[in-house]
Structure 1
Amino acid sequence: MNELQAILEGFESSQKSGEITFLATVVKTEGSTYRRPGAKMLITNTGRMIGTISAGCLENDVFQHTQQRMSSGEAIVVTYDNTASEDILWGFGLGCNGIVQVLIERLERESTPNAIAFTQECLNKKHLGIIATVFAIEGAINVKLGSRLLLYPDGKIITDIKEQNLIQSLIADAQVAFANQKSRVNNYHLPLGSVEVFIEAIQPPTPLVIFGAGYDAVPVAQFAQALGWDLTVVDCRANEATKERFPIACDVILSCREVIHKQVFIDDYTVTVVMTHNYLDDLEILKMLLPSSARYIGVLGPKLRTERFLEDLRLQGIVYNTQQLKRLHGPIGIDIGADTPEGIAIAIIAEIQAVLTNRNGNFLRNRNQPIHQSYASNLNLLLPT
């Protein structure tokens, strides 16, 4: 279970227990910070916290804000400036030379638009969604802090924002964020002032299909589950005991290589690991995966084995192009010297994560660019109608 899923479950349990709940969201950062925009933490009035917005330095302070400043139920934004010398005096000493802005809001089950329910739907239905949240206001503008616009995959819009100029620009920018699948911070100028908005892409869990159900596949499944990925295990030996070995899997498919293509769904978001330890099974699986739109295809075993697969497929008349081969990783995994099932599993999951984020898996100390994705503000000028 990943952090977001844990927060959603925490909200449900807090509603059943009658606790008052708050959500803290990092909406903007500058410079070096531990978490980036979109990081969330659920806080209850009893002091229970789920998720993190820092390395553990800001969480208690955010809790104090929920106790002392939010009796009216109105959202607030707290800015932590770690570039100032006062950072040490206040006791944070984060070690990150940056600025963090945190939106804190009280959660209500019946609120409209309901970002919690929308996020839960994105995860349950496995589709992308966009949440645009106002977190800074300057001037006499008829917009409230914490106002939102939600964009569904079918283009449906739900919003409590009344400013029509802002709505139209938000819809356009939300559609861009949906197409790019990336979050960003935008600054909008209106006739009577300006607002800043965090446009957040809510990503569904990464679907991982593991072909193979040996004991070395178990740690791969466990690490994927820890990341909150949507896991499917395919056992080509159709062994009923497999279901007991993988209780954490979202789905266990007992199959054989002749019909496997009818039982497994692969789309543009799917990442796959082939580790059946059976040459003919792996060959048939690759015959299915190479022409598919799978984002990542990893094959366990030495390079010569993968090359033999490709040659055998060619002899069978299977046509594959350079673009398809770019998605094929064999041998599979990052080069970390792993030689145990657990170590190999770490190498596999690390490589998939690197592919998903378009990174090369090198040492961070050798990286000359910022570690995290940039959320630079985009200036939009809105003219009166």
Structure 2
Amino acid sequence: MMMFQVKRKLTNGWTLIFAAAQVIRKLKKRYMLFFLMLLRGRIIMDTIYDILSSLDRHQSKKAVLATIIHVYGSSYRKEGTSMVIFEDSTYTGVLTAGCLEADLIERSKTLLKQKQAFQLYTYDLRSENDLSWGRGAGCNGRIQIILEPIDQLFQEQLFTLYDHLRNGRPVLSIRKLSLDYSKIERTFIPYEYEERTKRWFGQQIDGADDFLCAPKPYKKYSGLRKKNKDDLEFQQLYWPQPNLYIIGAGVDAKPLADTASRTGFQVHIIDWRPALCNKEYFPSVSHFHIRSFDQGFQDIGMTPLDSVMVMTHQFEQDKEALRDLRHRDLFYLGVLGPKKRTTRLLEGERPAGNLDSPAGLDIAAEGPNEIAISILAKVIGRMRKEGEQPHA
């Protein structure tokens, strides 16, 4: 097992890395990569927000969107993963571990000079001796990638997608592709969890109405199918950034907020103390709610996609918060402290199925940094389990 060589400097970064090293020492080998990726901020985000943000910043540049639409076997990234490639060879996002990006850049430049609506390419990475794609990629898979030039209409659709995601709405994208590469039709269906929505944007595609029912939270859905002898259809479900509400602005909330922010969560701090619930105390957080908990949280707008962590360390405050939260439809509800304490907090009421107490993955965590890692691991693990999708 590889060990970290670090000096125990008490800066936020080094303290967190040292804490992660202690966690990894306690874990079986199969968990090591998971935690290393968590620290690097690669677990939650599939770069769709980075891509859309990059497009927003560089609207004057011609660009191509590259997306994996099918995987045969295994690959570094899965169906639905995208990257944007600009005319000056800069790009945001990756589809492989560096095996194909240079080739995709050259193909994108060529496509921008042509009149085709899109192009499909298949890369076989299964052979360890295949020197074509990065000196023997050995990924044990074959991947199919679509390249789409971003014209004005597609750019407008992508920015509308971005707006929906930033407003907490998952969006289903459906692309209908002609096999002669001459035509592509796109429709986008945003979802509301409070009601079934019939708002869609883009071209109307036959059968799109079948997808108007909101999906299960964090379900992964992407798939390619042949509609008829002339057309393919690719469907992809985009999820908004997950929200993590931290109830309590204590010192141990800091590493949880910092790590969650780096990992792709929108972090909200809720506390009754203005001196603690602020940007100076939590520099990585942008959302603060100063309130008495007896007000409840109705006006904050928590949804079935949101995770909440209760950690005020004050029994009466935790109890007041849980009085409201335990009846809410939340994705995850964690309570810091032993199970017996949580039982008392619930005042004899049976806990909801989403309640996690003691909160976090059982790794015998010690100290605020390890506890933060264990909590995020539990939330992310639950998201991945809920979103599991079989692959070919």
* TM-score normalized with structure 2 length: 0.78
Q: Which of the residues 301, 309, 322 maps onto 1:265?
A: 301
Q: Which moved more, 1:278-287 or 1:149-158?
A: 149-158
Offset of residue 145 of structure 1: 4.8
Q: CA 1:92–1:26 in structure 2 vs 1: closer, same or farther (change >3 Å)?
A: farther
Q: Distance in 1 between matches of 2:327 and 2:343?
A: 17
Q: Secondary structure at the match of 2:293?
A: coil
Q: Work out whether residues 113 and 148 of structure 1, in 8 Å CA contact, stay in contact via their aligned partners in 2.
A: no
Output aligned runs, 1:98-137, within 5 Å.
Answer: 98-108=141-151, 110-111=152-153, 114-135=156-177, 137=179
Corresponding pairs, count: 340
**Who is 1:225 aligned against?**
261
* Deviation by residue 1:209-243 (Cα, 9 ceiling, x = unmatched): 11011222122112222233222110133425633
Offset of residue 262 of structure 1: 5.2
The list of structure 1 runs, each at least 4 consecutive aligned residues, that deviate by more than 6 angstroms after superposition, is none
**Who is 1:185 aligned against?**
223
**Who is 1:329 aligned against?**
356
Q: Secondary structure at the match of 2:85?
A: strand
**Who is 1:207 aligned against?**
243
Whether 1:23 and 2:59 are equivalent positions in the alignment is: no
Offset of residue 375 of structure 1: 4.7
Equivalent position amino acid for 2:134 in 1: G
Q: Distance in 2 between matches of 1:99 and 1:87?
A: 13
* Deviation by residue 1:284-307 (Cα, 9 ceiling, x = unmatched): 111111111112111112233223
Equivalent position amino acid for 1:61 in 2: D
Whether 1:250 and 2:295 are equivalent positions in the alignment is: no
In the alignment, structure 1 segments of 5+ residues that lack a partner are 162-166, 360-370, 377-385
Offset of residue 270 of structure 1: 1.6
Q: Work out whether residues 128 and 136 of structure 2, in 8 Å CA contact, stay in contact via their aligned partners in 1.
A: no
Equivalent position amino acid for 1:280 in 2: E
**Who is 2:53 aligned against?**
9
RMSD (CA atoms): 2.6
Q: Distance in 2 between matches of 1:130 and 1:264?
A: 26
Between the aligned residues of both structures, percent identity stands at 26
**Who is 2:390 aligned against?**
374
Q: CA 1:156–1:288 in structure 2 vs 1: closer, same or farther (change >3 Å)?
A: closer
Offset of residue 7 of structure 1: 1.1
Whether 1:149 and 2:187 are equivalent positions in the alignment is: yes
Q: Work out whether residues 220 and 388 of structure 2, in 8 Å CA contact, stay in contact via their aligned partners in 1.
A: no
* TM-score normalized with structure 1 length: 0.80
Q: Distance in 2 between matches of 1:210 and 1:292?
A: 15
Q: Distance in 2 between matches of 1:99 and 1:169?
A: 29
Q: Secondary structure at the match of 1:269?
A: coil
Equivalent position amino acid for 2:317 in 1: D
In the alignment, structure 2 segments of 5+ residues that lack a partner are 1-40, 192-196
Q: Distance in 1 between matches of 2:77 and 2:290?
A: 40
Q: Work out whether residues 269 and 277 of structure 2, in 8 Å CA contact, stay in contact via their aligned partners in 1.
A: no
**Who is 2:367 aligned against?**
340
* Deviation by residue 1:164-197 (Cα, 9 ceiling, x = unmatched): xxx323442x336x4355423242443xx14322
Whether 1:292 and 2:328 are equivalent positions in the alignment is: yes
Equivalent position amino acid for 1:307 in 2: T
Offset of residue 340 of structure 1: 3.2
* Deviation by residue 1:308-357 (Cα, 9 ceiling, x = unmatched): 323xx12xxxx446xx1x21111111123332322221111110011222
Equivalent position amino acid for 1:199 in 2: Q
Q: Secondary structure at the match of 1:168?
A: coil
Offset of residue 115 of structure 1: 3.6
Q: CA 1:33–1:96 in structure 2 vs 1: closer, same or farther (change >3 Å)?
A: same
